[in-house]
Structure 1
Amino acid sequence: MEEQGKGFFKVYDGQELEKQELMSAYIGKNVDYYLHKWHKAAAPEKALSWNWAAFIFGAFWVGYRQMYAYLALLVGMMLAADLAYIYVLGWEPDMRITIGISLLMGVFGNALYYRHIRRKLAQLNEEGIEPEEIHRRAAADGGPNWRGILATCLLLFLYNFILGYLTSL
């Protein structure tokens, strides 16, 4: 195995280099941050590492990074937790749920994003298209996207509407 590159960008074969280039293309903005976090972990899809953006912005960070399945899951968990507070415990929802979810997002955000990217790149590879086209589509489809913020706003509006309706019954 011949070592190529140095320091953070050290890789041992062409396949690993191609994987890193595809991930870089998909990530877009802040690529160095994510690659550094994942490089430090033996299993990045399971690693616990801190992400301030995921902690502070939570669902908005998930939407911005186009992780729509995780966004739906996150909002569903928020709704379920609020309903459990109200109907099971008989309490009014408070900041404990929000703080708990923020902490979970801060700790698991990088791992979730890694899983998301690996799944998206695997889908592109399964299409049987040329490597250049995979790279082009990864760059075009990935990265941060402000439409995800809009999707988050709409989903949180729906969450508040449902919660308001169910609590008014």
Structure 2
Amino acid sequence: MMLTEVNMYCSNCGTILEKEDKFCAGCGTPIKTRHNEPAALTPYAKSGAAPETAGKDSPPPEFGVPLEELELFIGKRAGAYFQKWREDHRWNWPAFLFGGFWLLYRGMYLYWLIYLIVCSLIINIVGSLVFPGYQVSFSMVITMLALQLAIKIGFAVAANSIYLHHARRKIKALSYRYPNDRETRELKIIQAGETSLYIPIALALLPFLLALVYGLFTYLHTYQQIQQVIDSEIQESRYP
């Protein structure tokens, strides 16, 4: 009885393999099947369609996550950020001009909290070392302004890398949560990468609102005191 030759297929992408192949020509996955045992035909190898997990052992994408998912996450500015990351362009003008508000606009709330803590620690540590008594002087004001400028420059240089790390972390988390539901995963990625001006604007206006409330409270308190003095003087004039 003559045995028919059984084709071997890559267990990762379904590409037909030759006997002498050590790596898959389609995805580069090492061939681990023993020579005396033909690789089993998987459903996607028969149909020619790769599953959601195809390419799991293949070389990582350019930015660590699929380019199309990263584009969905970033939105309209995806092309500009792709160019910055490819050219290793580190400067970010919005991050320099707006500081922590840029983090809030991009939805990086954890990084915003870390940014506030780090800035506060740096300013307090340097202030205590350079000006132990915290006596306000011209040199102290200049030093603090220069320190804040240095922090803004350092943050602007690191902003693009921080944003890429944030995008990768979110996309990978959603990929683990929805490994086989591509439509839901892409929808969640779009929602996770949405930008919002409401929170940064609200926080920017918060000091002014607090100052307005404090001013109104002070005005009412002063008005009541003046009114009480006027009433007491009127009573004294009527009943000397």
The two structures share one fold, judged by TM-score above 0.5: yes
* Amino acid corresponding to residue 178 of structure 2 in structure 1: G
Secondary structure of the corresponding residue to residue 66 of structure 2: helix
Q: Is the 8 A contact 2:105 2:200 kept in 1?
A: yes
Per the TM alignment, residue 29 of structure 1 is displaced from its structure 2 partner at its CA by 3.3
Supply the distance in 1 between the matched residues of 2:71 and 2:77 (Cα, whole angstroms).
9
Identity value in percent? 25
Question: Are 1:139 and 2:186 an aligned pair?
Answer: no
Q: Is the 8 A contact 2:72 2:189 kept in 1?
A: yes
How many residue pairs match? The answer is: 139
Secondary structure of the corresponding residue to residue 166 of structure 2: helix
* Amino acid corresponding to residue 118 of structure 1 in structure 2: R
Per the TM alignment, residue 16 of structure 1 is displaced from its structure 2 partner at its CA by 4.3
Pick closer, same or farther for the CA change 1:143–1:125 going to 2, 3 Å.
Answer: same
Per the TM alignment, residue 152 of structure 1 is displaced from its structure 2 partner at its CA by 5.1
Supply the distance in 1 between the matched residues of 2:120 and 2:84 (Cα, whole angstroms).
31
Per the TM alignment, residue 66 of structure 1 is displaced from its structure 2 partner at its CA by 1.0
Pick closer, same or farther for the CA change 1:16–1:86 going to 2, 3 Å.
Answer: closer
2:121 paired residue number? 80
Pick closer, same or farther for the CA change 1:69–1:152 going to 2, 3 Å.
Answer: farther
Supply the distance in 2 between the matched residues of 1:139 and 1:34 (Cα, whole angstroms).
16
1:30 paired residue number? 77
Pick closer, same or farther for the CA change 1:152–1:19 going to 2, 3 Å.
Answer: farther
Q: 1:114 aligns with which of 124, 141, 164?
A: 164
Q: Is the radius of gyration larger for structure 1 or structure 2?
A: 2
TM-score, normalising length from structure 2? Answer: 0.51
* The 10-residue stretch of structure 1 (115-124 or 86-95) with the greater mean CA deviation from structure 2: 86-95
1:40 paired residue number? 87
Q: Is the 8 A contact 2:170 2:192 kept in 1?
A: no
